[in-house]
Amino acid sequence: MSNPDSFIDEVTEEVRRDRLYGYLRRYGWIAVLLVLLIVGGAAWREYRAAQEAAQAQAFGTALLQALDAETPEARIAALEAVEAPNPGGAAVRAMLAAGAGEEGAADADPARLSEVATSGASDIYRRIASFKALVAGADTMSAEERRIGFEALAEPGNPLRLLAEEQLALLDIQAGETDAALARLEAIAADAEATQGLRQRTSRLIVALGGDSGGAS
């Protein structure tokens, strides 16, 4: 009985093999095409990533060279001449130009920053530009207007939330609302997301206002 069984098994295996070869001959090109697509897609992604990295490096180098110009006017002109690779790059270029008009870049141009804040750049760039415009507009904007802007940036989930809260505390101090300022500063110091530098600044302000820094440093 074992010989007939073995013969049947061999025949069955041969039939399966013939069917497999038949499938490979009929549909094997699909498998080859899929492999080529996968390999080609991976190669294209690597090529694009290398191109984008080189483009970003060239853009950064051009910005640094533009900032080396001797006069504010020359720096602004050089920055504006740099071609941005994308909306994000254009936003960075505009924010650099906004701070290049004064020697030492101590003061930024609120008008230029406001243009970035309302541009088609990604959300983070628009928020940064808005924050910088509000800070730079201390001499040209009303305290209430700046407060409204900082309150919008201080909403939960905003990456600039704590920095906006710090500016709101400064507005409270300017308005003579010491208790409100202390409350904001203490909340910032106790926030787990506060950076070390921000904690140090708030601690110094708390002490200056007569509060207890709680050992924050």
Q: Residue 48 and residue 62: Cα distance in Å, rounded? A: 21
Is residue 123 within 8 Å of 117, Cβ to Cβ? Answer: no
Q: Above pLDDT 90, what percent of the chain?
A: 34
How confident is residue 208, by pLDDT bands cut at 50, 70 and 90? very high
Residue ranges covered by each domain of the chain: 142-217
What pLDDT, on a 0 to 100 scale, did the predictor assign at position 1? Answer: 46
> DSSP class of residue 139?
G
The mean pLDDT value of the chain amounts to 83
What pLDDT, on a 0 to 100 scale, did the predictor assign at position 176? Answer: 93
Q: Residue 13 and residue 18: Cα distance in Å, rounded? A: 9
pLDDT in tens, 21-36: 766 677 766 777 788 8
179 Cβ contact list (under 8 Å, min separation 6)? none
Q: Residue 82 and residue 6: Cα distance in Å, rounded? A: 79
> Maximum Cα–Cα distance for the chain, whole Å?
105
| b/e code 122-138 from CB counts within 10 Å (16+ = b) | eeebbbbbbbbbbbbbe
144 Cβ contact list (under 8 Å, min separation 6)? none
How confident is residue 206, by pLDDT bands cut at 50, 70 and 90? very high
pLDDT, mean of residues 196-209 = 93
pLDDT, mean of residues 66-71 = 86
Identity of residue 133: A
pLDDT in tens, 69-111: 888 888 888 988 999 888 888 888 888 888 776 644 446 788 8
What pLDDT, on a 0 to 100 scale, did the predictor assign at position 4? Answer: 61
20 or 89, higher pLDDT: 89
- What is the residue whose two structure tokens read 């809260």? 165
